[in-house]
Amino acid sequence: MYTRRGLIVGAGAAAAVGLAPAVARAEQPTLTEDGLYRQSWFIESFLELGDDLEATRKAGKRFAVMWELKGCPYCKETHLVNFARPDISDYVRTNFDILQLNIIGSRKVTDFDGEELGEKQLAAKYGVRFTPTIQFFPEQAEGLKAKAPREREVSRIAGYLRPDDFVAMFHYVRESAYQSQTFRDYLKARS
């Protein structure tokens, strides 16, 4: 006869010898000096968006900017829940380069049109008002300079999305589905 305690001990012993399935988790983010969680695979950048997009294109990936804020609970959730799932982090890091910016930061960023602004001013220019926000850009920078800032994006995550919808947005952008349907229609077609 098994007791509840025996089952727990038995499961622990089985896991110790490799018989029980382990819960897979992606690599943990680090908490940076500016209070943002950061994935090790986020890109290091000279903060020149046109150059970052071009480098990303040459690597066969898509470019995204993730806006965050110190103390933002949904930013933390994005890192500790969404990116903690290996299927999500593996897909995103394989198919995207993400540049992390601070919505109230002061680092100078050169926009696609050549204008150099602080992070806070760049966020305002693009209408980024809350965190997390992820902007997705087209595969090439050609023609972006002449467009209004919001017209440069192909899609955007504004706020927190649950893990399945979150990864679906990355598939939506990677597959260029935004050219023929809304994200809502894309989700309906996937279910």
Residue 64 has pLDDT above 80, yes or no: yes
Is 11 in contact with 74 (CB distance < 8 Å)? no
User: Which pLDDT score is estimated for 170?
Assistant: 98
Is 104 in contact with 120 (CB distance < 8 Å)? yes
Q: How far apart are the first and last CA of the chain?
A: 43
pLDDT range class, residue 185, cuts 50, 70, 90: very high
Is 79 in contact with 25 (CB distance < 8 Å)? no
Determine the Cα–Cα distance for residues 162 and 77; give it in Å rounded to an integer: 9
Per the structure block, which two tokens stand in for 140? 């090439």
Is 150 in contact with 127 (CB distance < 8 Å)? yes
Other beta carbons within 10 angstroms of residue 114's beta carbon come to: 10
Chain-centre distance for alpha carbon 61: 13
* pLDDT tens, position by position, 78-99: 999 999 999 999 999 999 999 9
User: Which pLDDT score is estimated for 24?
Assistant: 63
* pLDDT tens, position by position, 105-147: 999 999 999 999 999 999 999 999 999 999 999 999 999 999 9
User: Which pLDDT score is estimated for 16?
Assistant: 41
What is the domain partition of the chain in residue ranges?
A: 26-190
> What is the DSSP secondary structure assignment for residue 18, as one 8-state letter?
T
> Is the N-terminal amide bond of 132 cis, ω within 30° of 0?
yes
CATH superfamily of 26-190: Glutaredoxin (3.40.30.10)
Determine the Cα–Cα distance for residues 168 and 187; give it in Å rounded to an integer: 7
User: Which pLDDT score is estimated for 191?
Assistant: 85
Determine the Cα–Cα distance for residues 101 and 67; give it in Å rounded to an integer: 5
Q: 136 forms bridges with which residues in the sheet?
A: 64, 155
Determine the Cα–Cα distance for residues 176 and 180; give it in Å rounded to an integer: 8
